[in-house]
Chains A and B, each alone.
Chain A
Amino acid sequence: MQTFLKFLRGFTEGVVLLGLLFGTLGAQEKPNTCLECHSMLEGSLQIPPQKWNADIHKTKGLGCADCHGGDPTQMDDQKAMNRAKGFVGAPQGAALVQMCGKCHSDAAFMKKYNPSLRVDQVSEYFTSVHGKRLKTGDQNVATCISCHGVHEIRPVSDPRARVYPTNVADTCGACHSNDKLMAPYKIKTHQKEEYQLSVHYEALMKKGDLSAPTCNSCHGNHGAAPPGVGSVTNVCGQCHSVFADLFNKSPHKAAFNQMGLPACVYCHGNHGIKHPEDTLLGVDDKTLCSQCHTSGDPGFQQAQTMRQAIDQLKNSIASSEAVLSEAEHKGMEVSQPVYDLIEARQDLTKARTQVHAFNAASLQVFVQAGLNITHRATEKGHQALAEYQFRRKGLAISLVVILIVIVGLYFKIRQVDRRSNGE
């Protein structure tokens, strides 16, 4: 093994010297003996050049020594990796965070590369569960390279980056879906599986909506931590602000606080949030409301009234659509009532939103507005169908009349013929 390493060193030195002699390293590029050796090593010490060439740091002109220290111009590995000359090797844990932070927390330095880039990642990291545990001496927690990778670090805007929105769940899941890694912390590992069944995952991965939430949208990225019970509405409210406002003004706000329940999450879940259905609302056994409210209490009554109102509008819209669709198929002009139904559907959406005020009266306003529209639309649909029936009957009558005319003409012609023959 020693002989092989000596041969490798000699071979590498030869290659580098030849490169220097013939100018293959180029006048602009810094000499980098590190890569020459490490591209040929095996295992964790190997750094394939194609990986490093894709790294954002390489493209910005930085070299190995900018992070690891040492002297990349030296052919002798003892000189190149001399700790007395600042070589830090491959630091772990807090030392690694500090190594990245050396540049990434330096606003003046980072401004040269990306003036809009944040420089608070390290301080934010130490507010995360990962960072806090690291401070207590836990060396197994995630640090910068756990999420961003190493020697192939790509900017967040690159779809191949491990921190690109569509890749974040896999990046977090690499540890958080691993039973063995999570067992010492007693953290469950089902989050990614649940998330992959959620409406958010569908929006992000199937509909291509990059603003749809993934792990870091709710937990934070550098400061990753589970949102506290009291901040759930704020977190969900980043996007669902109307729901958060309604909930915060509702009687549920105080009740949930008193019981220590996480607001939105208690009814909708967290990682596996499904598209909400009307069946969640109401008083039968399958509804969410019935988990806390029982017959006779005010909440039970509100839930029952709200569900009935929403069902009434939903059925009324369906009934209008059926009548207008029938009229349309029969060739009648009903585009105006069809257009008007858009507003009724909007009222249904608003009524469903108002559920989060947990006040049937405020919901009823939108239901009534929608019902007014559906009643008018249905009436116009029935008028169109009546007109269709009138036209059909008119056609039938005119056909009978035409038939009688033909018969009459037949008799008239026969009469004229007889008279002619008689003359």
Chain B
Amino acid sequence: MNSENKSEAPVRQPGRRTFLNLLLSTSIGASAVAILYPILNYLIPPKAGEPTTASVVAGKASELKNNSGVIFRFGNKPGILVRTPDGELRAFSAICTHLECTVQYKKDTSQIWCACHNGTYDLTGKNVSGPPPKPLEAYKVNLRGDEVVVSKG
């Protein structure tokens, strides 16, 4: 009876062991993938960078001609970098103080202009005509080589 049991045992044992080994190795492999995937996702930066509200590179000084302006992204809000007819660089919030439309540079009058309701600001950001109630928020402008760095305060 015992000898019969001993002879049957080796037939069943390799099957269970193989199953457990297979289970174990698959699990370890899956665990490794589950751990590595978020790590890889974390290491590869997203297409849109995290918003930086303290300062931002608004553009290249050499690419902005006199009497022109360009909209840049300052965090999650638009800003406007202008170069006055005299060549001075200035930056402001591009959000119109009337109904929050995005302002733009108007070359023919050398003013900052809001197309929504014809509000105008001079090149110091002061509201000069139309419905805007307040001046545009002014930003600091610094040059880092050719890069125009705009910061708040």
How far is B47's CA from A243's CA once the two chains are assembled, in angstroms?
41
A329 to chain B, nearest CB (A): 15
- Number of B interface residues at 8 Å Cβ cutoff, please give it: 34
Taking the complex as formed, is A398 at the interface, i.e. its CB lies under 8 A from any CB of chain B? yes
* A 320-338 to B, binary, CB cutoff 8 A, 1 in contact else 0: 0000000000000101101
* A 391-423 to B, binary, CB cutoff 8 A, 1 in contact else 0: 100110110011011001101100100000000
Asked if B20 contacts A346 (CB within 8 A), the reply is: no
How far is B23's CA from A346's CA once the two chains are assembled, in angstroms?
58
Asked if A349 contacts B34 (CB within 8 A), the reply is: no
A72 to chain B, nearest CB (A): 46
B20 to chain A, nearest CB (A): 6
Taking the complex as formed, is A350 at the interface, i.e. its CB lies under 8 A from any CB of chain B? yes
Asked if B116 contacts A346 (CB within 8 A), the reply is: yes
Q: Which of B34, B76, B118 contacts A397 (CB 8 A)?
A: B34
Q: Which A190-247 residues sit within 8 Å CB-CB of chain B?
A: 203, 207, 209, 211-212, 239-243
Q: Which of A203, A391, A404 contacts B133 (CB 8 A)?
A: A203
Taking the complex as formed, is A257 at the interface, i.e. its CB lies under 8 A from any CB of chain B? no
Taking the complex as formed, is A38 at the interface, i.e. its CB lies under 8 A from any CB of chain B? no
Taking the complex as formed, is B55 at the interface, i.e. its CB lies under 8 A from any CB of chain A? no
Q: Which of B57-65, B82-90, B95-103 contacts A (4 or more CB under 8 A)?
A: B95-103
Q: Which residues of B contact A203 (CB under 8 A)?
A: 133
Q: Which chain A residue shows the least CB distance to B27? A: A405
Q: Which of B20, B78, B99 contacts A415 (CB 8 A)?
A: B20
How far is B30's CA from A408's CA once the two chains are assembled, in angstroms?
14
Q: Which A294-340 residues sit within 8 Å CB-CB of chain B?
A: 333, 335-336, 338-339
Asked if B17 contacts A401 (CB within 8 A), the reply is: no
Q: Which residues of B contact A412 (CB under 8 A)?
A: 20, 24
Asked if B76 contacts A335 (CB within 8 A), the reply is: yes
Taking the complex as formed, is A345 at the interface, i.e. its CB lies under 8 A from any CB of chain B? yes
Asked if A239 contacts B28 (CB within 8 A), the reply is: no
Q: Which of A209, A350, A401 contacts B30 (CB 8 A)?
A: A401
A52 to chain B, nearest CB (A): 37
Asked if B116 contacts A240 (CB within 8 A), the reply is: no
Task: From known contacts A333-B46, A335-B76, A346-B101, infer whether A209 and B27 are also in contact, taking CB-CB under 8 Å.
Answer: no
B61 to chain A, nearest CB (A): 24
Q: Which chain B residue shows the least CB distance to A239? A: B131
Q: Which B39-92 residues sit within 8 Å CB-CB of chain A?
A: 46-48, 50-51, 73, 76-78
Q: Which residues of A contact B30 (CB under 8 A)?
A: 397-398, 401
- Number of A interface residues at 8 Å Cβ cutoff, please give it: 36
Q: Which residues of B contact A405 (CB under 8 A)?
A: 24, 27-28, 31
Asked if B17 contacts A241 (CB within 8 A), the reply is: no
Q: Which residues of B contact A398 (CB under 8 A)?
A: 30-31, 34-35
Q: Which of A336, A345, A395, A409 contacts B48 (CB 8 A)?
A: A336
B35, B101, B130 — most chain A CB neighbours (10 Å): B101
Q: Which chain A residue shows the least CB distance to B134? A: A209
Which 7 pairs across A and B sit closest by C-beta, in order of nearness? A398-B34, A209-B133, A405-B27, A401-B30, A336-B48, A408-B24, A346-B101
A selection of 22 A-B contacts at a CB cut-off of 8 Å is A203-B133, A211-B127, A211-B133, A240-B131, A333-B48, A335-B48, A335-B50, A339-B73, A339-B76, A342-B100, A346-B101, A346-B116, A349-B99, A391-B38, A398-B31, A402-B34, A404-B23, A405-B28, A408-B23, A408-B24, A411-B20, A415-B20
Binding site for A on B (CB under 8 A): 17, 20, 23-24, 27-28, 30-31, 34-35, 37-38, 46-48, 50-51, 73, 76-78, 99-102, 115-118, 127, 130-131, 133-134
Binding site for B on A (CB under 8 A): 203, 207, 209, 211-212, 239-243, 333, 335-336, 338-339, 342-343, 345-346, 349-350, 353, 391, 394-395, 397-398, 401-402, 404-405, 408-409, 411-412, 415
